[in-house]
Amino acid sequence: MTRWEYFTAPILVHMSQQILNNFGADGWELVQVVPGPNSESLVGYFKRPLPQAEQEQR
């Protein structure tokens, strides 16, 4: 069974593509986007599989 780690991060509207590409390059998959605390930002929820070594330890 795959185990996941999760991450939330602010996403600035005017830089969203760059921010999402950076997280994607690190293996994070965008799960959901919700409105942020102001009109210039969103909050992204991300997940990625835990490395195999960490999955075996848990």
pLDDT of amino acid 56: 67
Reported as a single tens digit per residue, the pLDDT across 1-54 is: 889 999 999 999 999 999 999 999 999 999 999 999 998 999 999 999 998 766
Contact present, 4 and 48 (Cβ < 8 Å): yes
pTM, 2 dp:
0.82
Long-range (24+ apart) CB contacts under 8 A made by 19-26 are: 19/44, 20/44
d(CA 58, CA 44): 26
| 18 CB-near residues (< 8 Å, 6+ apart) | none
